[in-house]
Every structure is written in structure tokens, then in C-alpha cells.
Structure 1
């Protein structure tokens, strides 16, 4: 699974899966049969062909319009579920509207497009889930094993060969996430499967937008020598690399690339204690699957209300993703409801105006409703219901072996003992204590304490105030382009009164 491009710069490719096209046709025939359509009972094959051709054609158009992938990926995600739902709804509205306008649906039950939509969406989602489950959880994807992220400057044949070489010889070690080109006409095109996102002068903005989503760019490579860019553009690139501490290399001068990248492929966080907890962790995975399915069903009305609130408050898309570090040090994409407006406009420029969360956003954060989409992460095996909270790569403690030996959780021991009021060191101690003492009884205790914490949480709580202060601190630092790199949330110390209260409560627990 490739790293998703920043939302404001995402482009669509015209590419349709053979299975998706086949299922669009097959599901239309099944829908006619389920609806007892008169055109079938009367053997009106012309009307049948017209309906199937139109519905299939509109489905393929929807696939292209909403960017469904050309292959059934084994790394199916929540983004694709939303894309499928939107594409199916769009296709059925087109089919229903055109047929009703031309034929008033003569011989076709009004429920046939509804049946078709349900069958089409169900089949697409089912095949993708089966593909993901069948692939197994033990094999890490190319996306998870890729340790270094590269931006290439220069959309030329040398850059294309470099990208192809990495894909062929070091696909699990280094990955090119974007290409920049000084000629604006190349923006939006692809080079060996990697999209040209902007010009070299936009390097700072593009790196910042990737960072918002938790994707850390490590290196910038010029596909040429110093004469590849104008002196002004080269100066901008060198300034940004120095400011953001990015490695800057010139492709013609690079030697031994494969050997240098080999060290990046090591998977951190392996530990022998995993064997001792194997039985409990296997049982816990089964509990996570059943628990996430049950919670998603029971909380379906809350999902619907939260989605409408987010649409009303900050607009589409309703989900926000970030890359976090999970079990065995493998990265994954964590999902939340959006509570802030997009930091960049459609042209990749920093958005103007206040980006502080509104009353609705603060309420979603204070009640933890914004964390509900992480049940999808639990179902897919990226997270657990209970465990150490997943951190951004730069927020990881110095010794990650213990905390990364288990799946990160939606809630955990640190979350019910202070959460955002805790310092980075205290969170690390709580998480390590949980991993060493993990048991069914401890998980039950954490679940009950989480319910009690949620029932008492409100907008004016100390944790909600601290959360808002951290958001304001990050937004103020991101609002100044030339400012030093923003502090991470983990490095922002809570206020002395809040800190004293956490220490007091921890001491009372003994």
C-alpha cells in the first residue's frame, strides 16, 4: 500500500479492476432477478440488455470518478470503504434518474436499483475483506517495511530509472513518496507510478502537509547535478532541507545506494517476551474482533450522528488519518473524525483564518467520539481495544522494544491514569507497566475505568483544556512558515496544577 498523497493534492487515475467491472454486470442481473422484473418474465431481452448496459456503464464511470483501485488490494482500508459507498450511490442515482426519465422504469420494479446498489457494494467490500484476511497478518506489507521516505526533484529519465530501480531492488527499504518538477506543466502527471505534486519551491509546504498526516520525509534527492535547477530554486531547496533537517543528495554522485538502504529495512521492536504472552495475545485478538464488530453495530447511530456533525462543522472528508507506529515497529494508518479544518487549501497553500476546534470539535475530542473510527483499525488487526496508545514516529521513547511488542490500543493504562495530563516519561512508565502485567483481568479493569472516565468527561475538564492548549500550540507553530520545527505534543508539559494532581492520584493508587 503506497503512502496516500496529501488530500489537497490527490489526483485520480483512470484504472478499473476487471473483477469490479464483472461484478457491476453480474449484480445488475441478480438485482433484476430479486426484483422479479417483468422484462425477465416476459423475455424482453432488449430491455434487459439496456438496463444492464446502463447500470454497468454508470458503475464503471463511478469507479473512475471516485478512484477505486485497479486491483483488489490485500491492504483494504477505511478509505476504500467510503470510496465504494460513494461510488455505488453515485452510480445508482445516475441509473435511476436516466431510466426513470426515458422509460419511467417500465417493466422494472422501483426497488431494483436499490437491490443493485446493495449487491454491488456488498460484493466489492466482501471480496476486498476476504483478500485482506486471506493474506494473513504475519506478512508485513511493502508500506509497513518501508523505513525511509524520499522526495525526488526532477521529472526526468534519470529519476524514472531511480524509482524503478528502488522498486525492483529495494522496495522494502526506501520509497519515493513524491516527485517535484520546476516545469509547472508536469504537475499532476506520474513518473514511474509516483505523482508530480508540485515545484521545488513548494518543497516546504509539501513536506509540512505530509507531516500533518504523520508521514515523515527523510531525504530529498536531486535527479541531476547542481545545474538541474535555477540558482533561486536550488537555494530554496537547500534552505528547506537545512531547516527541516532533511538529507540532500545528488543522484549522479550517489554510490552504493542498495547497501546504504539495507540498514533501514530492519524491523524494530522484536522481543522474546512475545512468546510468553502468545496464548493471551491470541485470545485477545479474538476478543478484539468480536468486540469491535459488536461495538460498531451497537454504536451505529452514534457513528451516523458524529458523521453528520463533522460534515456540518468542518466539511468533507469526515475522516482524518495519520501514520502511527504499531506492533513490531510497523507503521499503519490510524483513523479519527476530523475536528479541525484542512491546514492547506486545494493548491497546497496554508489555509488562512482560525483553525481552532469549534464547540462541536471540542465536544467530539472531550468525549472521545472522534476516536470511534479506530474500531476499523481494531477489526483489521492494526490495533487492539486495549493497549498502549500508538505514537507518531518522532514521539517514540528511546527504548521501544517493550511497548511495541503488543498491538497499540484505543484505550490503555496511561489513558485511564491521566492521559494528556501525563508527561511523556509518565506515559512511557504506564505503558511499560501494562505490557509487563497484561492479563484479561487488567484489560477488564481498564475497560471499566474507561467507561467511568467517559461518563465524567466534559468540555471544561482539565484534560480537555490541556488538549485544546496543545492543539493551539501546534497550530501557532505551523502558522509561521519560517519558524523552527513545531514541538511535538509529547514534549509540551502540562501546567503545574494539573501535573501535581496527576502525581497525587498516582501516589494514592500506590
Structure 2
């Protein structure tokens, strides 16, 4: 593993050098390149020296590129800024940047971020393509059904987490681990973070709820006798008053509890039952069109170009958020991604903490700020989602990812495609329409998706940002009618395909 990290570090340092040369080539005409490369030498030496120091400290080479996450891209952005600042300062002290244009450092930092992020995104996309399911047999009608907290930082907890991945088939999501020793907060067991101590359970549940994680079960990986009286009392209260299932694994040594159901709420007996399911939509002819892979390529190319422009803007927004609402500047929520996979969606924070120093919930009216309201209205708080598009987790246009308590098993068909930064439902009502209507309009989009339609949605998104959300009842009614007819067609096609096999049997 050490050899791999050294190799990745060497490649990253090489990227810094390539970006410096590319900055000169972009800034100056070809007939001046020879002289400019000679002038670049002191700056290049300082850049490589700074990179060799800053990149290991930033941890950009800690993980394999095909496992790159959002935090890795944040580290790249921070490291690029520090490297260029150090190189510029060193070169200025040495020869006052003799022969170099003053815009070279700015172009250099943008190229470092773009190249390093692009390489990691490409590696992750390649890895995801190789590891994708080869058939639709594993695509079900219900996304992940249960979020679990594990109490205990021992071998049993590790075994439980590994078993959920090997045997759970994606139906169980381990949201975090609670320590009983009090020494391991912030560390990880099988890539699952230790969120705190068992005695902090109520506060941790509140934090997870804010992030959209609805815990339905607590798996206790230590004997009850090893828990503090306070922790045992908390678990009893949770099971008796709130209804969260508490399962003592040390006694059961298996999955004996009935998994929690997806919250259907008001959708169970509504007209949403008319909507196509994920199983139907995932194999429909509309998803086999060439539009979808071309759309993904288009998203990748465009988002790379946008990140070059948006990176300075994101840095300014991050500073404004830090000064206005404090740190951390990013906020995340767990939402449903393609095929019901968990998606940790990042935004810039626009509200102050939800709880005061005593743990009491603060009213939303007292948490809002002028800057926060502006960021939400202008949609600038959603800029970090460009990295989700880069990684292939989202698209520019598509169904907006919903929270767990909004995504019902009654309308899973909308999960057949990548969620979008904006969508047909967002430009025809957005926050003003029900999740039922959003689901119908999302499915209408999946059936009618095209580049002209995406262009129309993009234009209407600009109008929405400037003028606010507006509902259009006729568009909603049209979506319901067409999607209901589509479900009948899909069922008929599936039945027609099954009849020859039944006859041959």
C-alpha cells in the first residue's frame, strides 16, 4: 500500500508540473513558448517543492483514485491553492516573477484542480462501469429499507457491518457506530464512522435526522451488561416510546428482527399506485435509447468546464458561509440516488445550528440569515453538487433526489435514472407541489427525455431562479394521464414477453 501511495503522489506532482506548463501555453502565443518555459523554471521548482510537501499533508494520495469521494475533491482544491500561493511567494522573493504574466498562478490553480479532479473522476467512473450489475435481476421495486446504528466498537460490530454488505443485498444501511470505550470517535470500522459514545445516542439521532437519515433499528454488538446504566435506559426509552427496534446481536448472533418498511405514509392508498415501478421502468425501451449514454458524456464534459469557472465562486461562497453561519461550511443529507442507492448530497450551509448549547431545538425562523436566504433563492448553495455530476452520481437534468421520508415504495420508477440538479418537476412547481405530483412529472420526464427538452428545462430553471416557483396545473395533469397510460403499456409488454416462455414450458 505504501508503494501505491508513493506512486500516486509522484503522479500528482507530475500533474502540478503539467498544469504549470499548460498555463503558459494557454496564456501566451506559441511563438513565445520557448522563452516563457525558460522564465517558468524558478516557478516550476517552487511548485514541485511545495507539491511534494503539501500533497502528503493534505492526504490526496491516501486512497485509490477509483474510491475518490467529495472530501477528496475538497482536499484537492485546498492543496492546489496552497501550492500555488507558496510557489508564487517563493518565485516573487527569488526574481519577482520575472518574465511571467501575473495571471499564470490563477490559471495554474484552476488547471491543477481540473486535472487532478478529472483523473480521479475518470478512474471512479471506470471502476464503477466494471463493477456495475450485468443484468437487471438485482433491481428491485424497493430501495434501501432500513438505516441501522451499531452500538459497540468490537469484532461483532465489524462482523455485522461486513454481513450487511455481503448478505443484505443493499437493503440495510449502517449509518454509523457508537463506541462504548469513548476513545475512538472519528475513526472508522469497515469504512463506517464512529459517531460518538453510546451515551450520546439521543443527540446523534437528532443530528442524523437533520441530515435526512431515519434510523429504524439499533444493533447492539456488546452484551447489555457491558453498557452503562444510562445507555441501557436510553435504549429502553427509544424502543418503548419512539418505536426504534433494539436488537442485541451478542445474544442473537444473527438477523432475527423484521426489517423496517419504507415509509409509505399517505401514498399507500393514493393514486400514486398508478405509477410504474422501478422494475418496470429499468427495463423499458425508453432507457435503451442512445440519448442516455450521450447525456452522461455531455454532463462529464460540461461539468469539467464549469468547475474551472465555478471553483473561485465556490471559494467565495464558502468564505461567506463561514463568516455568516460558521463552520462547517458544507451540509449533507442522505437521499435516494439511481436504483435506490444511498446518496450523500452536499450543499453549502444556509442556516445556523438546529440545536443550542443545551441540545434544545431552535426554531427555523431564528436560524435563517440574509446570506443564507440569498444562497437558497439563487441556488448557489447547490454548487457542490457539481462534484456529484462529475462522479456520475447525478446529472444536470433529472428527477431531484428525495429524502428517505419522501421517497415512497409506491413511486420507485423515478429512481431508474440519475437524479438531477434541476428537473421537469422543479420548473413547474418545485417546493409548491406534492411529492406525488413530483413523482408523476419525473416519470413523464424519463419517458420524454431528450436534449431539446433538457434545454427547455435549463431555460425554465433560470426563470425559476429569477422569479421563484410557479405551479402549472395543466402540466401536472398531463403528466399524470400520460404516466398512467405508460404503466398500462409496460405491464402489457411484460406480460407479452412472459407468455412465450410460459407456453414453451
TM-score using structure 2 length? 0.69
Q: Distance in 2 between matches of 1:393 and 1:37?
A: 57
Name the structure where helix makes up a greater proportion of residues: 2
Q: Distance in 2 between matches of 1:151 and 1:316?
A: 26
Structure 1: runs of 5 or more not aligned? 1-13, 42-47, 458-462, 464-497
**What do the CA deviations read for 1:142-192 (whole angstroms, capped 9, x no partner)?**
xxx976443222334443444455566668564544322344344445556
Of residues 415, 418, 423, the one that matches 1:412 is 423
Q: Structure 1 residue 234 and structure 2 residue 232: aligned?
A: yes
Q: 1:52 to 1:203 in 2, by over 3 A?
A: same
Of residues 51, 58, 61, the one that matches 2:57 is 61
Secondary structure of the residue that 1:399 maps to in structure 2? helix
Secondary structure of the residue that 1:184 maps to in structure 2? coil
Q: 1:281 to 1:21 in 2, by over 3 A?
A: closer
Of residues 397, 408, 418, the one that matches 2:408 is 397
Instruction: Note the C-alpha offset of 1:427.
Output: 2.4
Instruction: Note the C-alpha offset of 1:311.
Output: 3.8
Q: Structure 1 residue 127 and structure 2 residue 119: aligned?
A: yes
Secondary structure of the residue that 1:178 maps to in structure 2? strand
Q: Distance in 1 between matches of 2:388 and 2:116?
A: 19
Bigger relative contact order, structure 1 or 2, given CA contacts below 8 A and separation 6+?
2
Of residues 68, 75, 80, the one that matches 1:76 is 68
Secondary structure of the residue that 1:394 maps to in structure 2? coil
Q: 1:16 to 1:94 in 2, by over 3 A?
A: farther
Residue in structure 1 matched with residue 368 of structure 2 by the alignment: 357
Residue in structure 1 matched with residue 245 of structure 2 by the alignment: 247
- Counting only pairs closer than 5 Å after superposition, residues 192-211 of structure 1 correspond to structure 2 as 194-211=192-209
Of residues 386, 390, 394, the one that matches 1:379 is 390
**What do the CA deviations read for 1:208-243 (whole angstroms, capped 9, x no partner)?**
212322333332111233212133320112213444
Answer whether contact 2:110 2:308 (CA < 8 A) is retained: no
Count of aligned pairs between the two proteins: 437
More divergent stretch after superposition (166-175 vs 280-289): 166-175
**What do the CA deviations read for 1:3-37 (whole angstroms, capped 9, x no partner)?**
xxxxxxxxxxx999333432465567779999868
Instruction: Note the C-alpha offset of 1:423.
Output: 2.3
Q: Distance in 2 between matches of 1:168 and 1:429?
A: 34
Q: Distance in 1 between matches of 2:307 and 2:41?
A: 39
Answer whether contact 1:314 1:340 (CA < 8 A) is retained: yes
Instruction: Note the C-alpha offset of 1:420.
Output: 1.4
Root-mean-square deviation (CA, aligned residues, Å) is 4.8
Secondary structure of the residue that 1:447 maps to in structure 2? helix
Instruction: Note the C-alpha offset of 1:82.
Output: 1.6
Residue in structure 1 matched with residue 502 of structure 2 by the alignment: none
Structure 2: runs of 5 or more not aligned? 25-35, 134-142, 263-276, 482-505
Q: Distance in 1 between matches of 2:195 and 2:3?
A: 20
Instruction: Note the C-alpha offset of 1:253.
Output: 2.5
**What do the CA deviations read for 1:316-342 (whole angstroms, capped 9, x no partner)?**
444332222122222223232321124
